[in-house]
Amino acid sequence: MSRVVITGIGVITPVGKDIKTFWKNIVNGKHGFSKIESFDTERFKAKLAGEIKDFHPEDYIDKKEAKRMDRFCQFAIAATQEAVADSGIDFSFYDPYRVGCIIGSGIGGIKTFETECDKYFAKDSVRISAFMIPSMISNMASGMISMRYQLKGSSFAVTSACASSTHAIGEAYRAIKHGYMDAVVVGGAEAVITPLAVGGFQNMQALSTSEDPDRCSMPFDKERNGFIMGEGAGILIMETYENAVKRGAEIYAEVAGYGSTSDAYHITSPDPEGEGAAAAMRMAVQDAGLNLSDVDYINAHGTSTPLNDKFETAAIKKVFGDYAYQLNVSSTKGVTGHLLGAAGAVEGIACCLAIRDSVIPPTANYKASDPECDLNIVPNTAIQKEVNVAISNSLGFGGHNATVLFKRV
């Protein structure tokens, strides 16, 4: 079996469209929330989001080609371009059938869907775009990236709501570890700050209706009242340790463990006992051949919703027992908001950078302590501390749980 390492990363997020800016804002707890500008929110209770400002797809993609893509796909290609450059990988040296592409997305091209629906309801079906279907389907990000870089190995999308890109990383890890692939471009992309999506999440009472950008996404805070929608993409280049060393690549971290479970409980609420999330964490640690006490940092799913943060805290305690109180646990969604299907990839990248720089990012916007969320959630200020092992949790609607474990090489 092969060891699996990360040699390149790329992000497009509300707090940075490059790794340096992104990481600086994550470490400093500087959020990217403001009033939604992409549509009129007068009729909406939820008015804030983590929108990506000044994103110009033609900086990354031919203008004509970009017009045929949904925004989520544009984000995926932009982040991939950054990750490939960061990695220095030359795909032409690989057997193209042994290089894959797995990109998760919880919803896919909803902006395209809304735009074309408007034409239909205006009784203008003749103007419905011939590119509607390929623009909106969730697998098109992996398809477009595969075409751009001539990656002919296994290419597909993972759709498991907010766990999508963590599952993508886990499946890529298994494919490389067990010899099916030599390298995989992997991650997630999402662009759902649209009237239909915001309205739907708002009416199911998942979104914060706060109008204060500093008190809207506040994971583990007693006054939390819902998540803030974010958008963007996170992409990682994963390959065998042997090939990475051979070509002299910088290695951020090793992917060493993966756990995946289902709550089989409820369409939106996590299991109150945290059994499924706990099992996923336990599986990831066991898969890595480590002890629970080897884990230094948990990047929690930490959505800032009343149920998630409470139940995830319970799950961490269930797995780690008394050691849970010695762990550093933080949610970077206090800075980025919730990127849904892209969240796991972006948060996995945060884990890699925490290992690289020996710094634990904070949980931003934290003020009011919650006795039901009583772990060390690194409130507001980053901690300089060696991180040898970090795990990233993702919990998705439908009861999907995924945990990936990263360790220092």
Active site residues: 162, 301, 338
The pair of structure tokens assigned to 133 is: 């279907």
- Measure the CA–CA gap between 307 and 195, rounded to whole angstroms: 25
* Bridge partners, residue 396, by sequence: 400
CB atoms near residue 350 (< 10 Å)? 27
Residue pair 12/78 in contact (Cβ under 8 Å)? The answer is yes
Sequence-distant (6+) residues with CB within 8 A of 64 are none
Sequence-distant (6+) residues with CB within 8 A of 84 are 8, 10, 149, 185, 237
Number of H helices, E strands in the chain: 13, 14
Residue pair 343/227 in contact (Cβ under 8 Å)? The answer is no
Residue pair 301/312 in contact (Cβ under 8 Å)? The answer is yes
Task: Give the DSSP letter string of 342-400.
Answer: GHHHHHHHHHHHHHHHTEE--BTT--S--TTS-S---BSS-EE---SEEEEEEEETTTE
- Measure the CA–CA gap between 235 and 233, rounded to whole angstroms: 7
| Residue-level length of the chain | 409
The pair of structure tokens assigned to 396 is: 């998705």
* Bridge partners, residue 9, by sequence: 236
- Measure the CA–CA gap between 222 and 377, rounded to whole angstroms: 13
